[in-house]
Amino acid sequence: MDVHLDTAASPEALWAVLTDTQQWPIWGPSVRAVASPTRFIHLGTAGRITVTGIGLRLPFEITAFEPGRRWCWRVGRLPATGHRVDPLPGGGGRIVFEIPPWAFAYAPVCRLACRRIARLAAAAPPRP
């Protein structure tokens, strides 16, 4: 199951927000805090997230990474959401959350995350 949002923000700006661990608690409704050895993720990045509401700290690892396009992770021992940016034909980009079948109830959280990511990317200064 996919949840997506088309936005005027550039794919590069969307990607920067999606891969910046310091921004995950800002756009991720279920993420309160992140401990990561690097600010920007890559294949194999591992750390811990603190889950909103219950304060549970879970390990995460980036298990797939296509620069500028897509990343997936495992949280705890479970494969979690995939995160993707698709360029749109007329400009702008589509934010996509790939939700595992077992997590279908997580769709409203991902919809909110899409809107937050779009706002952050639109407000970000262009990267050199």
Contact, 113 vs 29, CB < 8 A? yes
Contact, 117 vs 31, CB < 8 A? no
Domain ranges of the chain: 2-123
Q: Enter the pTM of the model.
A: 0.93
Structure tokens at 75: 């949280």
User: pLDDT value at position 128?
Assistant: 46
Q: What percent of the chain has pLDDT over 90?
A: 87
Is 102 a residue whose pLDDT tops 90? no
Q: What is the DSSP letter of 82?
A: E
Please provide the average confidence, as pLDDT, over all residues in the chain.
94
Please count the helices (runs of H) and the strands (runs of E) in the chain: 3, 7
What DSSP element (H or E) covers 19?
Answer: helix 11-19
| Positive or negative: CA dihedral 64, 106, 99, 70 | negative
One-character DSSP codes across 42-69: -TT-EEEEEETTT--EEEEEEEEEETTT
Strand partners, 84: 70, 96
CATH code reported for the domain at 2-123: 3.30.530.20
Residue type, 79: P
Q: What is the pLDDT of residues 14-59, one digit of tens each?
A: 999 999 999 999 999 999 999 999 999 999 999 999 998 888 999 9
